[in-house]
Structure 1
Amino acid sequence: MPDNKVLVLAICGATCSGKTSTANELNKLLPNSKVFNQDDYFFDVNDSRHVWIPELNHINFDVVGSLDMDRMTNDIKEHTASQLSRIHVPEDISACDQVVCLPNKKYENLYKIKASGCHIVIVEGFCILNYKPLADLCDLKYYLTLNYEECFKRRMKRVYEPPDCPGYFEKCAWPEHLKQASEVKQTVQNVKYFNEDTVNIVDKILSDIVDII
């Protein structure tokens, strides 16, 4: 268990891979938790720091430079620091033996996490592990991948603001994902990967939290 009794999870990966759904489900299950969504940190569309794609006449929103990553990292650091004086870990959590009465492993893990008093910070986004200052804050790291066909199918069902222009997925979203995934594999250690065939992702993450606390 980290000394500060705050655990930071990174949920990173491809567009439409289930990052937000996974983060929100964990947040719902864990009352003592907070989610930071990377989408809340995009620069305004008129910001000069955006990368413009001339052939598409469109902003490339799928690069690290499209986001205020310094602000996001600082917000997470400030939130983590604010929790340190609030965390109360029971002196005796042997009551966890009571989990035998709970219906399955998920609820056993939830009980143990709650009993630990640990505050869980959940950070989700497509490139959070590609920004070293933020990746270094994370105790558990997850990367959700998809094959091209499944990713394209899911992306076509989503509506963005501003909306994707024709060719955006093929020329920006997918190539940038491949670059980012390759970079994470080469530079970030201790990342656990899930794909479209992985089942019970939330249960696996809960088990990992219990292991570390």
Structure 2
Amino acid sequence: MSSKILIIGISGVTCGGKTTLAYKLNKMFPTSKLISQDDYFLDVDDPRHTWITELNHINFDILSSLDMEKMENDIRKFTKNKKVPNICNGSNSTFKNITDINELKHSLSEKLKTNWEILIVEGFSIFNCKALEKIFHLKYYFTLSKEECFQRRSQRSYEPPDCPGYFEKCVWPEHTKQLEEVQTEVEGVVYLDGRSNRVLDEVLVDMARIVGEDEV
């Protein structure tokens, strides 16, 4: 019998916490598969890149800076022959009375050990890719204020590094466009505050709901 698969999409603003959440879930469920959009950036000398002339810098904050076809194929390979869970809107989850998050973590881990696989996909624009938009059972999008985002990004190192003006010219404008598109066109997205330390708990509760509903 084919195993069931639960696909979790984690997207949002740069430095918002999406990679941290993805790694925590991947560590918590060792048999899960993590696919990161950052692993699909084109080589810097790839002619498909869009250059910002006035900055003499590649725009890495758009879909065309990535090999999305390869990413889509990798996701399809992992999900092939897997059973999609029966997700309903009812409230019959077997986890509905659990209030202690540690109890929930243990119970969820036990439920997922048999006939379940988890795919975690994270990246800044995964919901903006039409080929991927509808594959996710759970969709999360991290948000931050412009000021908080700039402060966090300025403390990180990138290769190639951000050039002066890159945040204002590319990072933030592209993010706001992507966010508006997701808000307008993508259903079922849960928006998470990138400053919150409770996001993992929220995701675990949602995962438990789906696993529980699929068994009733």
Calculate the TM-score normalised by the size of structure 1: 0.86
Quote the residue 2:17 is aligned against: 18
Which amino acid in structure 1 is aligned with residue 50 of structure 2? V
Match runs of 1:31-110 below 5 Å: 31-81=30-80, 84=82, 104-110=102-108
Identity %: 50
Checking the alignment, whether the CA contact within 8 Å between 2:127 and 2:133 is kept in structure 1 is yes
Moved over 4 A (4+): none
Deviation at 1:109, TM superposition (A): 4.3
**2:131 aligned counterpart, secondary structure:** helix
Checking the alignment, whether the CA contact within 8 Å between 2:3 and 2:115 is kept in structure 1 is no
Quote the residue 1:130 is aligned against: 128
Show structure 2 runs of 5+ residues with no match: 84-93, 212-216
Of 149, 152, 157, the match for 1:159: 157
Checking the alignment, whether the CA contact within 8 Å between 1:63 and 1:176 is kept in structure 2 is yes
Quote the residue 2:214 is aligned against: none
Q: Specify which structure has the higher proportion of helix.
A: 1
Structure 1 residues 113, 60: CA separation in 2 closer, same or farther (over 3 Å shift)? farther
Which amino acid in structure 2 is aligned with residue 160 of structure 1? Y
Structure 1 residues 109, 183: CA separation in 2 closer, same or farther (over 3 Å shift)? farther
Distance in 1 (alpha carbons) for counterparts of 2:121 and 2:29: 14
Checking the alignment, whether the CA contact within 8 Å between 1:34 and 1:120 is kept in structure 2 is yes
Deviation at 1:116, TM superposition (A): 5.0
Which amino acid in structure 1 is aligned with residue 130 of structure 2? K
Checking the alignment, whether the CA contact within 8 Å between 2:59 and 2:170 is kept in structure 1 is yes
Checking the alignment, whether the CA contact within 8 Å between 1:10 and 1:135 is kept in structure 2 is no
Calculate the TM-score normalised by the size of structure 2: 0.85
RMSD: 2.2
Aligned length: 197
Deviation at 1:123, TM superposition (A): 0.3
Checking the alignment, whether the CA contact within 8 Å between 2:29 and 2:109 is kept in structure 1 is no
Which amino acid in structure 1 is aligned with residue 199 of structure 2? I
Quote the residue 2:86 is aligned against: none
Moved more, 188-197 or 175-184: 188-197
Distance in 2 (alpha carbons) for counterparts of 1:108 and 1:29: 10
Checking the alignment, whether the CA contact within 8 Å between 1:112 and 1:210 is kept in structure 2 is no
Distance in 2 (alpha carbons) for counterparts of 1:188 and 1:49: 27
1:7 matches 2:6: yes
